[in-house]
Structure 1
Amino acid sequence: MTGPRYTDLVTGLPASVPFVGPETQERARGRPFRARLGANESLFGPSPRAIAAMQDAAREAWKYGDAQNHDLRVALAEDLGVAPENVMVGEGIDGLLGYLVRMLVAPGDAVVTSAGAYPTFNYHVEGYGGVLHKVPFAGDHEDPDALIAKARAVGAKLVYLSNPDNPMASWHPAERVQAMIDSVPDGTLMILDEAYIEFAPAGTAPPIAADDPRVIRFRTFSKAHGLAGARVGYAIAAAPLIAAFDKVRNHFGMCRISQAGALASLSDRAWLAEVRARVSAARDRIAEIARGNGLTPLPSATNFVTVDCGADGDFARRVLAELAARDVFVRMPGVAPLDRCIRISAGPGDQLDVLAEELPRALEAARG
């Protein structure tokens, strides 16, 4: 036999990418989008301090990054009120999820999530042979009670909840999330994905009990900090679980430039406050545009607004396609009944002006 001998698991998996990026679509279209409002990036950019720090660090790009991410872990620990031993830094939440699944999920192990929740988590689970068990959303919210019940029924190794949620931008108060943590079955670890927590109302996140072995939290610099392209995420958990990441992680996965940018951004409270204010104003503008076209914006605790198109998934997909044809990049949930909606990222005024111009035309074409 010539060529590589793939494992049976890999042979049985499709080659897939959980998200088709706007660049891929632009290459296929042969032209750029005028409004890039689909990837939940911070269109308001990184902190000026972060940009300066990354420019300085670029001069030392010949060096490997600190394999322990020491300075960033210490700064995060101080900011969070935990010990550095409770913090792990990695290549975005995506990278850290991959390491966690590698540590805990063997072929055939059960994992519980919501139907329509973050697909990259599912990608990692399937990539290591885990068996996904999905429960439906309750209205436009993930259902903590159903997630726990399913985890108990199937003996899940992991149960995943995002709060605030992607793709619906909904959220649960801290008390409901803490009740879910308190209900986690023996032998199950709860993943609490808080990628959008900086945009959420006060009282959304339960207090961090870093020594609680039942839960691991994930947060990121990709959203409010505007460093999606730098790939910096972090996990907060009990020290033994954090230490176990050193068994599987890519120790030089974090480049010096990303570490420097995240460290500088963490200290720039004024920029973070400004981004939050701009996102809030942009959410209001998106909601106004949606209502002006007869659509229903859903309440949002994130940097995007999910807009109910008022029909079914087929109609929403037509709206999405018509917007793309008019050079507006947005996305939508992939599972019914969530797929009656489209999802629009917060952005500056010029980007939202394009949306306001093209949405009525896209709706007319989708209906016609």
Structure 2
Amino acid sequence: MGFLDPTLCVPLVKIHPDVRAFALVPSPSLRHFPRMTGPRYTKLAESLPATVPFVGPEAQERAMGHPFAARIGANENIFGPSPKAIEAMQKAAGDIWMYGDPESFDLRHALAAHHDIAPENLVVGEGIDALLGYLVRLLICNDDAVVTSEGAYPTFNYHVAGFGGTLHKVPYRDDAEDLAALLTKASEVDAKLVYFANPDNPMGSWCAGEDIVAQLDNIPDGCLLLLDEAYVELAPDGTAPVIDINDPRVIRMRTFSKAYGMAGARVGYAIGETQNIRAFEKIRNHFGMNRAAQAGALAALQDASWLSETCSKVEASRQHITEVAAKHGLIALPSATNFVAIDCGKDGTYAKAILDGLVARGIFARMPFVAPQNRCIRVSCAPEAEITLLDKALGDALEDLA
């Protein structure tokens, strides 16, 4: 049979209904397919809402019809990556026709040397978000119990729901995650996984590493403590706990998205006991790591002076934000991250009104989701020009609410 004129396809199917493959544009009467009623989704997938943990600033810009004047809401490092990282990614762009190294060999070995551990104790992945998904997939299904803090990082909750786990949440204590209470709840519900971020998002709070070490023996049998250390390079000395890399009760995750300024490259890594790390090989996307991103992360890791300079800029910006908040009668909470939570002094409704006022004036910011932390708004550290825009917009927003 020769090629068919596409304009004849619909009439042909009407004449010969078994020749369905030739119907490029089926007529309305043929849009019901009795042999196919739709994909057979799992019961779990059918039970889940179609949600996005964070609505991106781009979506808000499209809705507004114009860009933000200051993008200081997504915990991005606005000071940017090392110029050496940019150069490395630019050079790698010429080889982008090749898949990235599925073992991330060079980056993984450099990170292992950086942390004085064996390469077998480390796995690289597409940001902490992807690694969280892999870890949950390895451990959680069929109503398995998972413990986290009420109002903590929602992407972790998203993965737990996606694999059928049951979340048990513990309130913050004094605007900080309460590890002792999390582990107590884990014992009560026979949890397989506990999530604890240090420093914390969305509040910016942190605890000393030695306080985490003091709680390790309270981890229940058969439970894994996940330490999300995305912001630890920006925190005071002593924030990172000293834990034996071969302790099978703990797995730690870090990223190049925050202090290293490479959020768009999606590079994260997990470190832990060898068998825990090896388990990722069963389910991870082995070709998920972008080739240019690997090169950029390796160059960023080797540029210690840029990291130190960035940390100094973040510290200065935290102070600037604190001064802006105080100028307008608000209180900036202490932070060990590249963002600051600003206590607006009332409730979530009032904080949301301030946030709406900022957004209306071109300032992209966010706020915690859960009371009482939702009395705050959260802004990213940034160069002086962006914080000056925040200062003006915040004053105008508050004046509108007076």
For 1:7, the equivalent position in structure 2 comes to 42
For 1:214, the equivalent position in structure 2 comes to 249
Instruction: List aligned pairs for 1:92-107, cutoff 5 A.
Output: 92-107=127-142
For 1:250, the equivalent position in structure 2 comes to 285
- Displacement of 1:208 in angstroms is 3.8
For 1:332, the equivalent position in structure 2 comes to 367
Q: Kindly indicate whether residue 69 of structure 2 is the aligned counterpart of residue 34 of structure 1.
A: yes
Tell me, in whole angstroms, the C-alpha distance in 2 between the residues paired with 1:183 and 1:73.
31
- Displacement of 1:107 in angstroms is 1.5
- Indicate the SS of the match to 1:264: helix
Fraction of identical pairs, as percent? 61
Q: Which of 149, 159, 184 is the matching residue for 2:194?
A: 159
Amino acid at match of 1:360: G
Tell me, in whole angstroms, the C-alpha distance in 2 between the residues paired with 1:353 and 1:224.
22
Amino acid at match of 1:84: P
Tell me, in whole angstroms, the C-alpha distance in 1 between the residues paired with 2:319 and 2:200.
19
Q: What TM-score does the superposition give when structure 1 sets the normalisation length? A: 0.99
| Deviation per residue, 1:270-325 (Å, 9 max, x gap) | 10011001001100000000000000000010001110000000000000011000
Q: Kindly indicate whether residue 122 of structure 2 is the aligned counterpart of residue 87 of structure 1.
A: yes
Question: Which deviates further from its counterpart, 37-46 or 199-208?
Answer: 199-208
Amino acid at match of 2:131: L
For 1:280, the equivalent position in structure 2 comes to 315
Tell me, in whole angstroms, the C-alpha distance in 1 between the residues paired with 2:175 and 2:341.
10
Assess if the C-alpha contact under 8 Å between 2:213 and 2:243 holds in 1.
no
Instruction: List aligned pairs for 1:119-198, cutoff 5 A.
Output: 119-198=154-233
Tell me, in whole angstroms, the C-alpha distance in 1 between the residues paired with 2:399 and 2:233.
36
Tell me, in whole angstroms, the C-alpha distance in 2 between the residues paired with 1:123 and 1:51.
32
Amino acid at match of 1:160: Y
For 2:295, the equivalent position in structure 1 comes to 260
For 1:234, the equivalent position in structure 2 comes to 269
Amino acid at match of 2:55: V
Tell me, in whole angstroms, the C-alpha distance in 2 between the residues paired with 1:329 and 1:92.
23
Amino acid at match of 1:318: A
For 2:337, the equivalent position in structure 1 comes to 302
Tell me, in whole angstroms, the C-alpha distance in 1 between the residues paired with 2:374 and 2:209.
27
Tell me, in whole angstroms, the C-alpha distance in 1 between the residues paired with 2:216 and 2:132.
18
| Deviation per residue, 1:178-206 (Å, 9 max, x gap) | 12223111000000000000111011111
| Higher Rg of the two aligned structures | 2
The aligned length equals 367
For 1:345, the equivalent position in structure 2 comes to 380
By relative contact order (CA 8 Å, sep 6+), the higher-ranking structure is 1
Amino acid at match of 1:335: V
Amino acid at match of 1:353: T
| Deviation per residue, 1:126-172 (Å, 9 max, x gap) | 00000000000001111111100000000001001000000010001
Structure 1: runs of 5 or more not aligned? none
Structure 2: runs of 5 or more not aligned? 1-35
Tell me, in whole angstroms, the C-alpha distance in 1 between the residues paired with 2:215 and 2:341.
25
- After superposing on structure 2, the runs of 4+ consecutive aligned residues of structure 1 that deviate more than 2 Å are none
For 2:87, the equivalent position in structure 1 comes to 52
